[in-house]
């Protein structure tokens, strides 16, 4: 079969309209279907490969072990001293968490007071922009599972 070539035909709006005469429409449809199916499969594979896995199991806090390990390294503690330091730090950890939670709550309260003083100074357009950004600032923190990467074994 002779090769299909583009055909120049006059356009009703002036100029030349370029068209391609297709002798086998099923061939064009087959290629379009092939490209669509291939793209669907490739897209599904990419989504499957990049899908995050289940969150890791919560770990016990690394604080006592990490703190004791650093003291062991910096002060050359004995194994017995290191274990005792771990025990002491583990006993204080709930206090640290509670203090941190209280500090975050107080900070949030103070930020809200400050915002209430700022809002009357803004015109409606500025207020709308500020409120959108403010919601992002006050968004609760994302909860990560396990310790930060620098503390992982």
Q: What predicted TM-score, i.e. pTM, was given to this entire model?
A: 0.41
* Per-residue pLDDT of the chain in tens (153 residues, 90 and over written 9): 455 555 555 566 666 655 556 567 777 788 888 999 999 998 888 877 777 666 665 555 667 778 888 888 888 889 899 889 888 988 888 888 888 889 988 988 998 899 899 899 999 999 998 888 888 777 766 655 555 555 544
Q: How far is residue 146 CA from its own chain's centroid?
A: 17
Residue 65 has a pLDDT of 76
Residue 23 has a pLDDT of 65
Residue 69 Cα distances to 59, 65, 145, 148, angstroms: 18, 6, 22, 16
């Amino acid at each position: 079969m002779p090769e299909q070539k583009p055909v120049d035909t006059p356009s009703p709006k002036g100029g030349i309209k370029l068209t391609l005469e297709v002798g086998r429409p099923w061939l064009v449809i087959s290629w379009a279907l092939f490209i669509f199916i291939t793209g669907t499969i490739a897209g599904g594979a990419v989504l499957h490969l990049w899908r995050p896995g289940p969150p890791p199991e919560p770990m016990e806090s690394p604080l006592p072990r990490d703190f004791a390990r650093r003291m062991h390294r910096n002060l050359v503690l004995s194994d017995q001293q290191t274990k005792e330091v771990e025990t002491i730090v583990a006993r204080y950890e709930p206090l640290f968490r509670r203090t941190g939670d209280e500090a975050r709550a107080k900070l949030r309260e103070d930020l809200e007071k400050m915002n209430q003083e700022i809002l009357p100074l803004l015109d409606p357009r500025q207020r709308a922009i500020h409120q959108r950004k403010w919601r992002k600032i006050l968004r609760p923190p994302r909860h990560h599972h396990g310790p930060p990467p620098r503390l992982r074994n």
